A and B are shown apart, each in its own frame.
Chain A
Amino acid sequence: MNTPTGHQSRRGRRGTLPLLAAPALVCFVGFAIVPVLGVLALSFTTWDGLGEIRLSGVTSWRAVLADPGLPHAVWVTFLVIIASWAVQTPLSILLGTFLAGQQRYRGVLAVVYVIPLLLSSAAIAIAYKALLDPNFGLGAGLGIEFLSQDWLGKPGLAFGLVVFVVSWQFIPFHSLIYQGGVRQIPRSMYEAAQLDGAGRVRQFFSITLPQLKYTIITSSTLMVVGSLVFFDLIFVLTEGGPGDATRVLALDMYKRGFQANLMGPASVIAVILVLVGLLLALLFRRLGGRDPSQSQFEGA
């Protein structure tokens, strides 16, 4: 392997650098890039997951695009993204601002907050299923009717539960991101605002929030792109049910591919997932703008 640059130093030392990148590149291409290209190829085939793979042109695409299940799955995915963003963002900003304060006990709280982040989605989903069991759960034991409803049996409740559990798991992570963001805001901005007699609330809306613009974009990107591909949690918690109430795109793909053995149509859904993910990532990058130093002047 040769580097295309002209200034090679003695003994061709620079030539060894691409070799150092080779193992990572081989693994990554083999099990990430090839599958992405592969899923596009498979979307033009018919395969039951065991037998022969046969080319079938746009049959799978036609079938999926004509299936009312697709717009439903897109709609549910969209709702999960919007609802979990709308619940997590204000709470994370509030908690992040709080955690950025000076008192020592806040550090202790942060240690506890992080625990949900460490647990597997499967463990969290199973714990909540047990906790909210209408007959044997916490609500039944304490006689709290709100908690002992049939959370997994009614579409609206199941959807709300998914959004709540997602928030329970990920708010700590985003709070930490906002904590870092708030700590980077120059103190003198608050001092100046105090000289002007701006109160706590005014300071939050005039300084903290505008200064967090880029943190909000980072956190929202991770949230939105992340919730696009939620699988583990929803699969274990509701399996897409009741009915199809929580059947998001990733789950729709799994069910078509690995339960109905229709790998062609499932690959079509996967291609759609990749495209939507890339589109959202690009969109947020646009929103992020090109000059982060601008944020300094937006507190005004």
Chain B
Amino acid sequence: MSATLTETPRQATGPPDQRHRAAGAQRRNWFGGLAGWLWLAVVVVPIYWILITSFKAQSNYYASNPLVPPSDPTLENYRLVIESDFIGYFVNSVVVTVGAVVPAVVFSFMAAYAIVRGGDSRLLRWVNGLFLLGLAIPLPATVIPIYLIIIRLQLYDSLLALILPSIAFAIPLSVLVLANFIRDVPKELFESMRIDGASEWTTLWRLAAPLTRPAIVTVTIYNALTIWNGFLLPLILTQDPDRRTLPLALWTFQGQYSVNVPAVVAAVVLTTLPILVLYAFGRRQLLSGLAAGFSR
């Protein structure tokens, strides 16, 4: 009992005391628990309100209690949203997201491999430094020259105009996370591939890629989310309604139907649904990947 707090670091290396571990686990964190449940309510109530409102008919919406689900749920709001061309916007969003995420992840993986394997090359160290610097470049600050470049390339109002800058801005963080994971692959494995006469290209796809698959999945999900939700690039690089992606379409829809609250929230639900489906499948990878990516 004579231990003082200043001695704790030394005790940290000693064997754990089973008796006190058990005692510690039983202690309740009432304050944290209260905050945890309160925050759950803060998150859930708006989402619940959006969901039930999206099934209410506009006619009796104003009269109903906002927190009670509709007695006669209607799909009318969803019909209105879908008839406002949301299928087309959905396709645009898919094209832009897939068209940007696939090259971004493949290129980042190749670059991360080169940076880890060629760590003694001054050129590659310099490239790595440039990517790290890129982490600090804010997208909004670069949109005016991007707009100019896109006009000069005659790409204004095309989906490719959205894809190219999206790839560029996905690269720095992707390279950083992927390189951290490739570094964990034991050197002996690379060495044995080399002795077998495998080229760097073969080693990259046959050895490094399978061993870092969780990281590749995480980076893919993260980039897909960012690009799917992107608003600023579509706002400045497209004008034609046929080139709208979902977030921009949602914004214009809200401008048109601002008094029709059930229709607006139905549009919010529809644009969000694909992400929630993706989340249901990739939740584990996203959560563990986020933790791993930022704890290094």
Contact = CB atoms under 8 A, between A and B. Distances in A.
Contacts of B123: 1, 3-4, 18
Contact of A16 (B9, B23, B201): B201
A119 B164 contact: no
Interface string B1-40: 1011111110110101100110111010101110110011
Interface stretch (A67-75, A79-87, A134-142): A134-142
B168 A300 contact: no
Given A112-B40, A200-B29, A21 B140 contact: no
A152 B165 CA distance: 33
Given A120-B247, A141-B64, A274-B137, A196 B5 contact: yes
Kindly state the interface size class of chain B when it binds its partner: 35 or more
A99 interface: yes
Interface residues of A, number: 120
B39 A24 contact: no
A236 to B, nearest CB: 6
Interface in B241-276: 246-248, 250-251, 254, 259, 261, 264-265, 267-268, 271-272, 275-276
B134 to A, nearest CB: 6
B295 interface: yes
Most A C-beta atoms less than 10 A away, residue of B9, B21, B32: B32
B204 A20 contact: yes
B225 interface: yes
Nearest to A267: B144
Contact of B250 (A13, A126, A171, A296): A126
Nearest to B138: A229
Interface in B207-262: 225, 228-232, 236, 246-248, 250-251, 254, 259, 261
Contacts of A177: 290-291, 294
Q: Is the interface of A mostly helix, strand, loop or mixed?
A: helix
B66 A20 contact: no
B232 to A, nearest CB: 6
Contacts of B42: 168
B20 A20 contact: no
Contacts of B259: 136
Nearest to A230: B140
Nearest to B116: A17
A23 B149 contact: no
A146 interface: no
Contacts of A260: none
B287 A101 contact: no
A76 interface: no
B75 interface: no
B276 to A, nearest CB: 7
Most A C-beta atoms less than 10 A away, residue of B33, B201, B250: B250
Most B C-beta atoms less than 10 A away, residue of A17, A116, A274: A17
Interface in A95-121: 95, 97-99, 101-102, 106, 109-116, 118-121
Given A112-B40, A126-B250, A191-B16, A270 B35 contact: no
A184 B296 CA distance: 12
B145 interface: yes
Nearest to B39: A95
A34 interface: yes
A187 B24 contact: yes
Nearest to A173: B290
Given A121-B231, A123-B271, A189 B124 contact: no
A155 interface: no
B12 A189 contact: yes
A142 B65 contact: yes
Given A28-B171, A206-B5, A136 B138 contact: no
A244 interface: no
Most A C-beta atoms less than 10 A away, residue of B137, B146, B169, B172: B137
B185 interface: no
Contact of A97 (B4, B32, B148): B32
Given A21-B114, A112-B43, A192-B7, A34 B149 contact: yes
Contacts of B87: none
Nearest to B229: A120
A118 B276 contact: yes
Contacts of B291: 176-177, 179-180
Given A30-B168, A299-B8, A25 B141 contact: no
B80 interface: no
Given A141-B62, A236-B251, A271-B141, 18 more contacts: A5-B122, A18-B121, A18-B124, A24-B111, A24-B131, A35-B149, A97-B29, A97-B32, A113-B39, A113-B43, A115-B47, A120-B231, A121-B229, A138-B49, A176-B290, A191-B20, A257-B143, A300-B6
Counting from the closest, the 7 A-B pairs by CB-CB distance are A38-B145, A98-B32, A31-B168, A141-B66, A120-B229, A35-B142, A24-B111
27 contacts: A3-B121, A17-B118, A20-B204, A21-B114, A25-B111, A38-B149, A39-B145, A98-B32, A121-B229, A123-B247, A123-B272, A127-B46, A130-B261, A141-B65, A189-B8, A191-B24, A192-B5, A192-B7, A194-B20, A207-B8, A222-B294, A232-B232, A236-B251, A270-B140, A277-B136, A277-B138, A281-B136
